[in-house]
Amino acid sequence: MRLFTAIDLPPEILLRLDRLLSALRPEALVKWSPLDNLHVTTKFIGEWPEQRVPELHEALQKITRRQPFEVELKGLGWFPNERSPRVLWLGVEGGQPLAKLAKDIEQPLASLGIPPEEREFSPHLTLARIKHPVPLSNLRKKVHEMQPAAVGKFTVSHFSLFRSRPGTNASIYEKLMDYEFQSAMAAS
């Protein structure tokens, strides 16, 4: 099983993202992410044996003691850079609480043999992948016009474990489990 942890996006944010993508899609023939696949990845786990999912579930349950926090989606950008991009992304601003969630997910999973990320946590939504050279001048212009591309804020009160399966045009994500946050006082 190919697994990852992520934060779901609420319906009102997905609606705004749909409008943003509708404005961007006509500007370039690139591989646009399906709306249903947009999420904030907190940890890519990779291949994991199905019979060991209960171990993973037990480890993830241990990190739910935290307060809900706010995340804002805004700011379009390019990986690795605008001159020769491979990815168009939308920024995710969650400050220290989001970074701490990602770090806290790393720790118990490392004890199960899942290697920690080598790169610094850089939360974003992948809007499009640029796999082959295509004209991007119209898309670059549209991106500049739309900045700061503020999609909105929402409260994060849980994260989820997802399974990724190959699909015809894009991966298909299946949610396996939600991990609701519990305040430290409520959990005692």
- Number of structural domains (the chain) is 1
Q: Return the pLDDT at 119.
A: 87
Task: Say whether pLDDT at 62 is over 70.
Answer: yes
Token match 């060991």: residue? 52
CATH code of residue 18? 3.90.1140.10
Q: Is 124 a catalytic residue?
A: yes
Q: Is 39 a catalytic residue?
A: yes
pLDDT tens by residue, 102-159: 999 999 999 999 999 888 999 999 999 999 889 999 999 999 999 999 999 999 999 9
- Predicted TM-score (pTM) of the model is 0.90
DSSP of 84-142? S-SEEEEEEE-HHHHHHHHHHHHHHHHTTTPPPPSSPP--EEEEEE--S----HHHHHH
Domain that holds residue 111: 2-187
DSSP state of 166: -
Q: Return the pLDDT at 39.
A: 95
Task: Say whether pLDDT at 76 is over 90.
Answer: yes
Task: Say whether pLDDT at 188 is over 50.
Answer: no
Q: Return the pLDDT at 168.
A: 74
Question: Which is catalytic among the residues 124, 132, 144, 158?
Answer: 124
Question: Which is catalytic among the residues 39, 57, 132, 144?
Answer: 39
